[in-house]
């Protein structure tokens, strides 16, 4: 039985409900009256449910798709302005005991180099990341209770937060590690993590079990209920995602929205972020071996619809995607992107020789952070290195209610400008600095409250004088 507030995976991600949703979407994909009414509802900016969203996804009328894109752009602008939050992944260890058939870290891969960073090596990686200008990381690790126990992850977080190199600091550590217990989630919360990220990979139980043939991750219910345990452990910012290409995208899309609806129904707070990874070539992984790859146009439509359906949820795009694809979806609602990422263990300090490859997947955007920052600004975006919300206790439903009332704009805009200013002062090339200074000057005018604008201006001067880490 479908029940969004149930804590049982098969009740809140209910297979029959998804099949009925897809049938309903197929039956109505040319029903313009219904589609118009759904688009009207979406204009209220309160989101759409999985059934409504699935009808829009099934609709292939060009004019209506253009309307969806225009609305996604408008919602993006209204909620996020032109700010784009920057981050980088940090791979701690690729030891893994799972059998995920799409991931080169699977235990039966004897070819890939297995690496695990020591605390000393973590320091070096973090300094390299700080020297680029990064302030926010997403920690990545395979699942291996012997090699990567929770104590290792916690110690690594402590090390990361402790490093202050020149003006550098990692101010927010998000964590993407395997599903775990309430007790371990509590430990992560106490260690000061930002978002707990866990991709569902696929919501289709039967496929999930085939794609995860052994190891702890093979338990569909345990994996799917992870966010409920994370919330029970006190983590109220959680990040969802599916790995597009594994299963039929329409199934995944409905499942993803049902998961978001479930978090809202069961815990009163929706997902903080949604990631949209697509499967990539990697060591012993050939993405063409999976039948459900999606083309760039479908991918863009999914991104636009996520923006429309969950307006308050951040959307993350990684360097799995090329510059061209990133450019397209940034406009349609993406709010966070990674830059200068390395998906190998230890990759920020040194390039690996071919025979020592530890990469999780091939990266399609190989630009430096400075190039990405400059590119964003040339498109009129504000690259933001802001990490203020969780440090000011604006997490979970507190964050959501500030978002919904629009008050968040008085924090996000000045914080984005002040952290960009830090980046320009400490790390940018001359060209980037020049473009950035002009952007900051123009964007100061878009801070709604005069008082906040004044304080922001004063802080920008203090940043020029060498003081760091201002925030609203
Ligand atoms: N071990 C943790 C887990 O199981 O959730 C951490 C996740 S892993 C380091 C990060 C994510 O990379 C996975 O959740 C998966 O979606 C994605 N991934 C794995 N193989 C991939 C591939 N070949 N191409 C693109 N993404 C991949």
Q: What is the pLDDT of residues 122-154, one digit of tens each?
A: 999 999 999 999 999 999 999 999 999 999 999
User: Strand, helix or coil at 84?
Assistant: strand
| Cα 8 to middle of ligand 1, angstroms | 24
Structure tokens at 190: 């106490």
Determine if ligand 1 sits within 6 Å of the CB of residue 178. yes
> To test ligand 1's pocket by mutation, which of 96, 103, 320 has the most ligand atoms within 8 angstroms of CB?
103
| Cα 383 to middle of ligand 1, angstroms | 26
Residue 185 vs residues 2, 37, 155, 236, 412: alpha-carbon distances, Å: 27, 41, 15, 11, 28
CA 38-309-287 angle, 5° bins: 120
Determine if ligand 1 sits within 6 Å of the CB of residue 175. no
- Label residue 394 exposed, middle or buried (CB < 10 Å: 0-12, 13-18, 19+): middle
Determine if ligand 1 sits within 6 Å of the CB of residue 321. no
Please report the atom of ligand 1 found closest to the CA of residue 94: 9
| Cα 271 to middle of ligand 1, angstroms | 19
> To test ligand 1's pocket by mutation, which of 184, 243, 359 has the most ligand atoms within 8 angstroms of CB?
243
Residue 338 β-bridge partners: 87
Please report the atom of ligand 1 found closest to the CA of residue 242: 16
Distance CA(278)–CA(201), nearest Å, equals: 10
For the chain, list residues with pLDDT below 70: none
Distance CA(30)–CA(431), nearest Å, equals: 50
Structure tokens at 417: 């400008």
Sequence-ordered alpha helix ranges (H) in 49-118: 50-58, 62-80
| Cα 96 to middle of ligand 1, angstroms | 11
First to last CA, the chain: 45
Residue 462's pLDDT is what? 98
Residue 225's pLDDT is what? 99
Determine if ligand 1 sits within 6 Å of the CB of residue 308. no
Q: Pick from 378, 299, 369, 298: which is nearest to 334 by CA? A: 299
Residue 406's pLDDT is what? 79
Determine if ligand 1 sits within 6 Å of the CB of residue 239. no
274 near 316, Cβ under 8 Å?
A: yes
User: Strand, helix or coil at 246?
Assistant: coil
Would the pTM count as exceeding 0.75?
yes
Q: Pick from 372, 357, 358: which is nearest to 321 by CA? A: 372
| Cα 129 to middle of ligand 1, angstroms | 21
CA 185-189-191 angle, 5° bins: 115
| Cα 103 to middle of ligand 1, angstroms | 6
352 CB neighbour count, 10 Å cutoff: 16
Closest residue (by CA) to atom 4 of ligand 1?
Answer: 178
User: Strand, helix or coil at 141?
Assistant: strand
* CA 267 to chain centroid: 20
Distance CA(94)–CA(343), nearest Å, equals: 10
Determine if ligand 1 sits within 6 Å of the CB of residue 320. yes
Angle of the 249-267 helix axis to the 296-309 helix axis, nearest 10 = 20
Please report the atom of ligand 1 found closest to the CA of residue 281: 23
Closest residue (by CA) to atom 26 of ligand 1?
Answer: 279
Closest residue (by CA) to atom 1 of ligand 1?
Answer: 142
* Long-range own/partner contacts, residues 205-210 (CB < 8 A, 24 or more apart): 205/10, 205/15, 207/246, 207/247, 210/101
Residue 356's pLDDT is what? 85
Residue 176 β-bridge partners: 140
Determine if ligand 1 sits within 6 Å of the CB of residue 275. no
Closest residue (by CA) to atom 6 of ligand 1?
Answer: 177
Determine if ligand 1 sits within 6 Å of the CB of residue 140. yes
> To test ligand 1's pocket by mutation, which of 196, 360, 362 has the most ligand atoms within 8 angstroms of CB?
360
Q: Pick from 375, 405, 201, 237: which is nearest to 313 by CA? A: 237
Please report the atom of ligand 1 found closest to the CA of residue 91: 9
The 3-class SS string of 105-141 reads: CCCCCCCCCCCECCHHHHHHHHHHHHHHCCCEEEEEE
Residue 405's pLDDT is what? 83
Residue 21 vs residues 16, 29, 53: alpha-carbon distances, Å: 8, 12, 10
| Cα 212 to middle of ligand 1, angstroms | 12
Q: Pick from 287, 331, 439: which is nearest to 77 by CA? A: 331
| Cα 361 to middle of ligand 1, angstroms | 9
Structure tokens at 40: 């009207």
Closest residue (by CA) to atom 25 of ligand 1?
Answer: 279
Please report the atom of ligand 1 found closest to the CA of residue 96: 1
| Cα 203 to middle of ligand 1, angstroms | 15
Structure tokens at 160: 């990361």
Distance CA(425)–CA(465), nearest Å, equals: 10
Residue 401's pLDDT is what? 85
Length of the chain: 472
């Amino acid at each position: 039985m479908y029940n969004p507030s149930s804590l049982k995976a098969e009740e809140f991600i209910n297979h029959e409900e998804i099949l009925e949703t897809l049938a309903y979407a197929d039956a109505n994909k040319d029903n313009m009256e219904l589609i118009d009414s759904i688009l009207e509802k979406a204009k209220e900016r309160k989101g759409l449910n999985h059934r409504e969203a699935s009808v829009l996804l099934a609709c292939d009328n060009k004019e209506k798709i253009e309307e969806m894109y225009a609305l996604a752009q408008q919602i993006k602008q209204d909620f996020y302005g032109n700010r784009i939050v920057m981050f980088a992944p940090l791979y701690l260890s690729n030891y893994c005991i799972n059998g995920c058939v799409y991931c080169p870290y699977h235990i039966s891969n004897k070819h890939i180099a297995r690496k695990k960073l020591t605390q000393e090596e973590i320091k070096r990686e973090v300094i390299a990341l700080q020297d680029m200008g990064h302030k926010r990381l997403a920690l990545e690790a395979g699942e291996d209770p012997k090699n990567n126990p929770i104590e290792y992850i916690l110690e690594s977080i402590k090390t990361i937060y402790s490093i202050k190199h020149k003006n550098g600091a990692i101010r927010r550590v998000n964590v993407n590690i395997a599903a775990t217990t309430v007790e371990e989630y509590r430990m992560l919360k106490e260690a000061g993590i930002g978002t707990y990220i866990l991709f569902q990979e696929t919501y289709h139980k039967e496929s999930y079990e085939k794609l995860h043939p052994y190891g702890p991750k093979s338990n569909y219910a345990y994996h799917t209920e992870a966010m409920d345990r994370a919330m029970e452990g006190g983590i109220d910012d959680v990040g969802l995602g599916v790995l597009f290409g594994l299963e039929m995208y329409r199934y995944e899309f409905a499942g993803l929205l049902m998961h978001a609806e479930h978090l809202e129904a069961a815990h009163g707070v929706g997902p903080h972020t949604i990631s949209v990874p697509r499967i990539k070539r990697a060591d012993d992984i050939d993405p063409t071996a999976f039948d459900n790859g999606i083309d760039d146009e479908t991918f863009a439509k999914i991104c636009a619809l996520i923006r429309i359906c969950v307006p308050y949820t951040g959307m993350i795009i990684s360097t799995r995607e090329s510059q061209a694809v990133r450019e397209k979806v940034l406009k349609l609602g993406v709010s966070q992107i990674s830059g200068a990422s390395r998906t190998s263990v230890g990759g920020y300090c040194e390039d690996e020789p071919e025979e020592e490859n530890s990469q999780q997947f091939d990266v399609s955007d190989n630009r430096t952070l400075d190039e990405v920052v400059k590119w964003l600004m040339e498109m009129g975006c504000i690259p933001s290195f802001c990490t203020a919300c969780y440090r000011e206790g604006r997490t979970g439903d507190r964050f959501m209610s500030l978002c919904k009332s629009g008050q968040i704009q008085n924090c996000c805009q000045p914080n984005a400008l002040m952290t960009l200013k830090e980046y320009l002062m400490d790390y940018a090339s001359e060209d980037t600095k020049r473009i950035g200074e002009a952007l900051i000057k123009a964007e100061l005018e878009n801070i709604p409250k005069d008082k906040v604008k004044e304080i922001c201006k004063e802080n920008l001067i203090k940043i020029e004088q060498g003081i760091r880490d201002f925030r609203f």
